[in-house]
Structure 1
Amino acid sequence: MRIEIKINQDIKSMKKDVWDLVGPFEKIATWFEGIKKTEIEISDNGNTVRHLTFDNDAIISDELIKKDDFSYTYKIIKGDLPFENYIATIGIKSNDESVSLYCNISIDVSQDNKDESVKFLEDIYENAFKNVQLIFESNSN
């Protein structure tokens, strides 16, 4: 079954500053904890591919498929995960006094793995976004 997962975090900072941190596809390890190594290559079709090695030595490969001024979309092309056909968009939107950092994810998952997969993805992105929030809160003091 195809499911959608949406994660949001408001951050009190300037849109450009937040995007300078989370926007570079190849620099995810600066705000997404648990990544010990990032390798970048260009695929045969000219897209950027990042190979992420996590602290537990798991490796996931992502391919950037679209990039705009304040969002990018990528898909997982390799990794041992309980779901398939992962596509996510990470971006930011301006609010009155802050920005909203978001991640919209689509996956194919079996009913047996649905709850576990949703919780896993929500937890890792909520933690990553809280880390971004903490980075900006500590910089404003």
Structure 2
Amino acid sequence: MKLPIAAALLSIAMLPFAGGAQAHHLSSKEDVEVKVDKNKSAEELKALWDQFGGWCAIADWHPAVKTCEEIKEGDDVFRTLTLQDGGVIKEKLIEKGDSTYTYAITESPLPVKNYQAQFSIVPDNDAADEVKILWTAKYDAADGKKDDDATDTIDGIFKDGLKSIKEKLGKKAD
């Protein structure tokens, strides 16, 4: 599906997070800025969300994810991601809006714990003709793991995913 997007800006920003109650609190942020027609920005935002923002849409755009299965347990909604290498990640949907969702990892082989993330597609506050695809996370290194290993892993996951989104939008990735 081709979206009527004029151009994708190839900027990816890494913003370290300082703060929080724990000394080893880490954060990762990745974004893609997408140029849109000012008169069609709401329509284009919805089209982007329809393509990339569904709870299990990650299986369509993230190269490490082989399949995604949505599971309901009582009132809670989870997704089970089966990775290309056979690993499995279980995530719980915490909150969902029209163009954003927040989730937590409940089971994973990743070197992180206390992981909570948000995926959003939102208008850019700095430019009326742009939207941003944002993916942010807060987490701690898993017990016995180094902070750098946790950060490198999550940053790599984010970069690979957003690079794939850029490619699906028909833009050359960094």
Superposition TM-score, scaled by structure 2 size? 0.72
Structure with max Cα Rg:
2
Shift of residue 112, structure 1, vs aligned partner? 5.2
The correspondence for 2:138, drawn from 92, 106, 113, is 106
Structure-2 separation of matches of 1:130 and 1:12: 16
The correspondence for 2:167, drawn from 107, 110, 134, is 134
9-18 or 31-40, larger mean C-alpha shift? 9-18
Match of 1:17 in 2: 47
1:29-48 CA-to-partner distances (Å, cap 9, x unmatched) read: 1111121122221023x121
49-58 or 19-28, larger mean C-alpha shift? 19-28
Greater helix share, structure number: 1
- Matched to 2:87, the amino acid is A
Structure-2 separation of matches of 1:60 and 1:100: 26
* Secondary structure of residue in 1 paired with 2:109: coil
Shift of residue 26, structure 1, vs aligned partner? 1.9
Structure-1 separation of matches of 2:49 and 2:67: 21
* Secondary structure of residue in 1 paired with 2:67: strand
Residues 53-132 of structure 1 correspond to what in structure 2 (within 5 A)? Answer: 53-95=82-124, 96-109=128-141, 113-132=146-165
Contact conserved, 1:11 with 1:136, CA < 8 A, in 2?
no
Q: Does 1:38 align with 2:71?
A: no
Runs (4+) of structure 1 moved beyond 4 Å?
none
Match of 1:2 in 2: 25
1:71-116 CA-to-partner distances (Å, cap 9, x unmatched) read: 1000001112211011000001213333211111010126952112
Contact conserved, 1:7 with 1:103, CA < 8 A, in 2?
yes
- Matched to 1:118, the amino acid is T
Q: Identity, % of aligned pairs?
A: 25
Structure-1 separation of matches of 2:89 and 2:170: 30
Contact conserved, 1:2 with 1:106, CA < 8 A, in 2?
yes
12-21 or 86-95, larger mean C-alpha shift? 12-21
Superposition TM-score, scaled by structure 1 size? 0.88
Match of 2:5 in 1: none
Query: Quick one: higher RCO (CA 8 Å, sep 6+), 1 or 2?
Result: 1
CA RMSD between the two structures: 1.8
What stretches of structure 1 of length at least 5 have no aligned partner? Answer: none
